[in-house]
C-alpha cells in the first residue's frame, strides 16, 4: 500500500483517520489557509507523484467551504502528478438538487459533479445518494456504497417480534423494502408532501402499524421536520414506539433536541459519514470506515467493489468475504480483509479489520 496516499480536509478528519487505520496507511497532512480576502489556499504536504491519491471530504456544513477545500485539494493533487485521484465523498449534499421541480431552478447535483471533473478527479466514491439518478450526473466512474447492511446489523441482535419497517415517503419505499427483507419484517410508508425545506405534511400511513413497534429508515435527517411529522402520524395510527435509523445524521439546528424529546422514539441510529452532534451522548453511531477502506483497497488493486457483497444486490446488503488476493484466499471469518503484505498498526491483530462497530456520539467525537 506504499503507493496509496490519503488526505482529508476539515469536514470530517475523524472518519479519514479511521479509514486509514483500516487500510494500515498514515493520514497525510494538508495545509489549508484562509487569506484576509476570505480566499482559501491548499498545500498537500506529501509526495503525490505517480501515487494513488484519495481525498476524504463529506460535504457537510459549512458546505461551500468544504466543497471548495475538496476542489482545491483535487487541483493540487493533479498539479503534483498524481497517477489517480479519487474523491471519497461519504455525504454528497448536492444530491438533493437533482431535478427541475420549479421554473428556472438550478441543478446543483449536476453542477458540482461537473466541477469535480473539471478540477481533475478520476473517480468518486460515495454512499447513499439522495436519489439514484444523481449517479448519472458524473462523467467519471462512481462507486456507490450503502450503509443499509450496517444499520440492519444494529437491529439483528434485538427482539423484533411484531416490528415493522417504515419509510418516511413513498419515494424511499424501495430502499425500505430491501432493508425490511434483511430483517425479515413487513414494510409501511408515509405519504409525504414537502411544503418547505423544514416543513412537511404527512397525509397518511400506507400499511399496518397499529400496535407494532416501528423502525423508521431514512437516508438523511437534517432539521428533523419530516421525521417529527411522520412520528406524530405513526402515533395517531397506533404505533407504540419507533427506532429511527438513517445513513447521514446531519441533525441541523434544534433537530437533536426535537428528536430526543419525542415520546415515541426509543433510539436513534446513524453512521459516521458526517460528524455526530457533540451534545447527544445517547446517539448510536455505526462506523462505515471499514466499508470505505475495503472499497478503496479494491479500487487500488483493480478488484471489483461489488464483489464485496457476494452475489447479493450490492446496494442493499452488508459485505460478504469472497475476495482472493494473489497470496491466496482470505479468512472467511466475519471480518473485512486489508490488502496483503501490509504491516498492521501497533496493537492490532494481523490481517484483520473490525466490522462496523457501534459507537456513541461521545466516542466518535473523541
Which residues does the annotation mark as catalytic?
192
CB 296 within 8 A of CB 19: yes
Distance CA 225, CA 214 (A): 18
Say which residues have a Cβ less than 8 Å from residue 76's Cβ, sequence separation at least 6: 42, 43, 44
β pairing state of 242-249 and 214-221: parallel
CB 142 within 8 A of CB 113: no
Please classify residue 104 by burial: count the beta carbons closer than 10 Å to its beta carbon, then call 0-12 exposed, 13-18 middle and 19+ buried: exposed
Distance CA 247, CA 321 (A): 23
CB 60 within 8 A of CB 12: yes
Strand partners, 243: 215, 267
Handedness of CA 306, 307, 309, 311 (dihedral sign): positive
Q: What angle do CA 233, 239, 242 make, to 5 degrees?
A: 90
Residue 261 phi, psi dihedral angles, 5° rounding: -85, -10
Please classify residue 128 by burial: count the beta carbons closer than 10 Å to its beta carbon, then call 0-12 exposed, 13-18 middle and 19+ buried: buried
Q: Residue 227 has which C-alpha cell?
A: 421525521
Please classify residue 81 by burial: count the beta carbons closer than 10 Å to its beta carbon, then call 0-12 exposed, 13-18 middle and 19+ buried: exposed
Count the Cβ atoms, other than its own, within 10 Å of residue 322: 14
Amino acid at each position: 500500500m506504499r503507493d496509496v496516499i490519503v488526505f482529508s480536509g476539515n469536514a470530517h478528519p475523524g472518519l479519514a483517520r479511521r479509514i486509514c487505520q483500516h487500510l494500515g496507511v498514515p493520514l497525510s497532512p494538508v495545509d489549508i489557509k484562509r487569506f484576509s480576502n476570505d480566499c482559501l489556499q491548499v498545500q498537500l504536504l506529501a509526495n503525490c507523484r505517480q501515487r494513488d491519491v484519495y481525498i476524504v471530504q463529506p460535504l457537510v456544513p459549512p458546505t461551500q467551504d468544504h466543497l471548495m477545500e475538496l476542489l482545491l485539494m483535487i487541483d493540487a493533487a493533479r498539479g503534483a502528478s498524481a497517477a489517480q485521484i479519487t474523491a471519497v465523498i461519504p455525504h454528497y449534499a448536492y444530491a438533493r438538487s437533482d431535478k427541475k421541480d420549479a421554473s428556472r431552478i438550478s441543478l446543483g447535483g449536476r453542477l458540482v459533479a461537473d466541477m469535480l471533473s473539471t478540477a481533475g478527479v478520476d473517480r468518486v466514491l460515495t454512499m447513499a445518494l439522495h436519489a439514484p439518478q444523481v449517479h448519472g450526473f458524473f462523467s467519471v466512474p462512481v462507486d456507490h456504497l450503502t450503509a443499509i447492511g450496517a444499520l440492519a446489523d444494529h437491529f439483528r441482535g434485538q427482539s423484533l417480534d411484531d416490528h415493522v419497517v417504515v419509510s418516511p415517503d413513498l419515494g424511499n419505499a424501495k430502499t425500505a423494502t430491501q432493508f425490511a427483507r434483511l430483517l425479515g419484517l413487513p414494510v409501511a410508508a408515509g405519504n409525504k408532501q414537502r411544503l418547505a425545506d423544514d416543513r412537511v405534511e404527512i397525509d397518511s400511513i400506507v400499511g399496518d402499524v397499529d400496535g407494532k413497534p416501528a423502525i423508521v429508515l431514512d437516508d438523511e435527517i437534517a432539521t428533523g421536520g419530516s421525521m417529527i411529522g411522520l412520528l406524530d402520524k405513526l402515533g395517531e395510527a397506533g404505533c407504540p414506539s419507533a427506532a429511527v435509523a438513517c445513513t447521514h445524521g446531519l441533525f441541523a439546528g434544534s433537530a437533536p433536541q426535537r428528536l430526543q424529546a419525542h415520546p415515541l422514539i426509543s433510539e436513534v441510529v446513524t453512521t459516521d459519514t458526517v460528524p455526530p452532534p457533540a451534545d447527544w451522548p445517547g446517539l448510536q453511531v455505526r462506523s462505515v470506515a471499514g466499508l470505505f477502506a475495503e472499497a478503496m483497497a479494491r479500487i487500488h488493486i483493480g478488484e471489483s467493489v461489488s464483489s464485496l457483497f457476494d452475489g447479493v444486490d450490492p446496494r442493499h446488503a452488508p459485505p460478504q468475504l469472497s475476495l482472493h488476493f494473489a497470496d491466496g484466499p482470505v479468512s472467511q471469518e466475519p471480518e473485512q480483509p486489508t490488502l496483503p503484505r501490509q504491516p498492521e498498526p501497533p496493537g492490532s491483530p494481523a490481517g484483520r479489520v473490525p466490522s462496523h462497530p457501534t459507537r456513541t456520539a461521545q466516542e466518535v467525537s473523541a
